[in-house]
Amino acid sequence: MTTLSRLLTVVGDPHDINTWSNIPYFFLQAGQQTGFLTDGLPLDCDRLKQQRLLWNAGHWLTTGEYGGFQ
């Protein structure tokens, strides 16, 4: 039988109490206590810096607008 995994994904580390005013940390703790969440998945946005710059440059060249990379 396969178990369903539910991960809390946030910008930063949901295991770190200092991330986003500690909201993801306590949300993850509560979710794990109730059995709703399995674990937290940290996202490192610094690794996307080059892709963000390239996307923003391409978007600006094609539309004349800057921004929008999420």
pLDDT digits (tens, 9 = 90+) for 36-49: 999 999 998 887 78
Q: Where are the domains of the chain?
A: 7-63
Cα 50 from Cα 68, distance rounded (Å): 15
Any residues with CB less than 8 A from the CB of 35 and at least 6 apart, and which?
none
What are residue 40's phi and psi, to 5 degrees?
-110, 145
* pTM as predicted: 0.67
pLDDT digits (tens, 9 = 90+) for 53-69: 888 889 889 998 877 76
Closest CA relative to residue 9, chosen from 30, 40, 46, 52:
40
- Ramachandran assignment for 49, one of left (phi > 0), alpha (psi -120 to 50 degrees), beta (any other): alpha
